[in-house]
Structure 1
Amino acid sequence: MKTPEAVLKPTLQLQRLTREAFAPFGDVIELEGARHFPINGGTTERYHDLARVDVADEGGRPLVNLFRAQPHALPLDIAMMERHPLGSQAFIPLTPCRYLIVVAPAGELDCTQMRGFWTDAWQGVNYAKGVWHHPLLALDRVSDFLVVDRGGDGRNCDEQTLPQPWRLVFAESVEIPA
């Protein structure tokens, strides 16, 4: 039985992350379907140009970081979003991990335009400059990510509290690969 709180809380349906569905918000970083070719005498396969790194505004420079995300339990409610108006931000899992993504178009935050996704164990994402997103939402266990984003002068992180929490729900019954 649903509690009165659950009935009144708006829900955001999560769908499988695909390049096509995520395109308005940035890039999906994955091997499947990527342009690739052999290098180094055929000993290595290069998967080429997987994301548009956009960090040059106001003299910015690329930063390479490691983020360690704490796991979240389901069901999950979100209450805030953030954006980086001066640069893109890419998250690439270092080991297979399940995580959720919540995004909204750049500009003024419009909760009715939020989209939610679940990843397979190896997909990364690159949020385009100015796209609203929720901070990392790892599932199951502590998860490490390689993060490429912007360093330099200028304010590059805006946070906004949502008018009310949103409950993340799966659009269909899914078994997220681990």
Structure 2
Amino acid sequence: MPLAIPGPSQNIFLQPSPLTQTTFSKFGTVIANLAPLLNPSLSLTSKDIPPNAVVANQGSALKFLDVSLMADLYAQAPSEMPSKAVMNLFVCAPRTLTPSSKAGEEVFPVEILERHPYTSQTFIPLGVSPDEAKDVKYLVIVAPSLPPSSLDEGFSVPEIGTGREGERNRLPGRGLPDLKNLKAFVAHGGMAVTYGAGTWHAPMVVLGRKPIDFVVVQSANGVGEEDCQEVVFGGKIGVTVEIGKKISSKL
């Protein structure tokens, strides 16, 4: 059952920005083709391709290396239940948006956040053609963690994260989401996104007129509070993401 927490002391209105690796780096990784106009070929040289790419499959492909940090930290979980890598399919319908006080515009109210303390979680959209990749959109809503408090003492979290090449990586910590520093990003259908282990985020928010199928890759051990922790907040004062002009008229 989600933990009910106090809502913000004043209304928070978020203006979403485009999702990029630079803007999202504190929360996870963005996966996208960094050279969409480059056709794979044996004639390509290292000067022609991005630094983390190599020519593969007899020149018929570009392989981008190590595009996202995957984490499985269940060895630190209190239950000591073993984890396994899982791949699920989420069929996500467009969310119902609320009319804004601004004529002709809409907002999305944020009332629940979740995190997966012991695993990263990657959302990979399926069935999006190149022609519609820019028009199929979804929201990525994330928050940093507050310092630990008595309100979250029932949550368990790992203490040590593993980064690339085995280096230690700082984790968000046990604390509740910092609602004052929520961030919202707009991703298009040509992007996948990985939430870092322990990152507070909203459940998937699809915009537009049609559902998006996502393959979701993570680890899990079947222990509810170790796989997913949720908080809810609401009331007359809350958090909304300003979508702008009616999205259905733009897609």
TM-score normalized with structure 1 length: 0.84
- Counterpart of 1:36 (choices 33, 53, 67) is 53
Q: Is the 8 A contact 2:92 2:204 kept in 1?
A: yes
Shift of 1:85: 0.5
Shift of 1:116: 0.5
Alpha-carbon separation, structure 2, partners of 1:121 and 1:143: 8
Alpha-carbon separation, structure 2, partners of 1:30 and 1:161: 31
Alpha-carbon separation, structure 2, partners of 1:48 and 1:62: 20
- Counterpart of 1:158 (choices 222, 229, 248) is 229
SS in 2 for 1:119: strand
Comparing 45-54 with 129-138, which one deviates more in the overlay?
Answer: 45-54
Shift of 1:10: 2.2
Alpha-carbon separation, structure 1, partners of 2:23 and 2:84: 29
Offset from partner CA, 1:128-161 (integer Å, 9 cap, x none): 0000000000111110011111122542100101
Identity of aligned residues (%): 29
Offset from partner CA, 1:45-75 (integer Å, 9 cap, x none): 2122111110242332221221110101442
Q: State yes or no: 1:104 paired with 2:175.
A: no
Alpha-carbon separation, structure 1, partners of 2:85 and 2:125: 18
Alpha-carbon separation, structure 2, partners of 1:156 and 1:49: 24
Gaps of 5+ in 1: 1-7
Which residue is 2:148 aligned to? none
SS in 1 for 2:25: helix
Write 1 or 2 for the structure with the bigger share of strand: 1
Alpha-carbon separation, structure 1, partners of 2:31 and 2:58: 25
Q: State yes or no: 1:51 paired with 2:68.
A: yes
Q: Is the 8 A contact 2:74 2:221 kept in 1?
A: no
Alpha-carbon separation, structure 1, partners of 2:239 and 2:199: 18
Alpha-carbon separation, structure 2, partners of 1:84 and 1:61: 14
2:230 maps to a residue whose letter is E
Which residue is 2:41 aligned to? none
Which residue is 1:122 aligned to? 190
Which residue is 1:5 aligned to? none
* Pairing 1:11-90 to 2, within 5 Å after superposition: 11-32=13-34, 35-58=52-75, 59-74=82-97, 75-90=107-122
Alpha-carbon separation, structure 1, partners of 2:73 and 2:222: 11
- Counterpart of 2:211 (choices 108, 132, 142) is 142
Which residue is 1:131 aligned to? 199
Which residue is 2:3 aligned to? none
Gaps of 5+ in 2: 1-9, 36-49, 76-81, 98-106, 145-171
Alpha-carbon separation, structure 2, partners of 1:63 and 1:56: 14
RMSD of the alignment, in Å?
Answer: 2.2
Which residue is 2:47 aligned to? none
TM-score normalized with structure 2 length: 0.61
2:109 maps to a residue whose letter is D
Which residue is 1:4 aligned to? none
Give the paired residue count.
168
1:90 maps to a residue whose letter is T
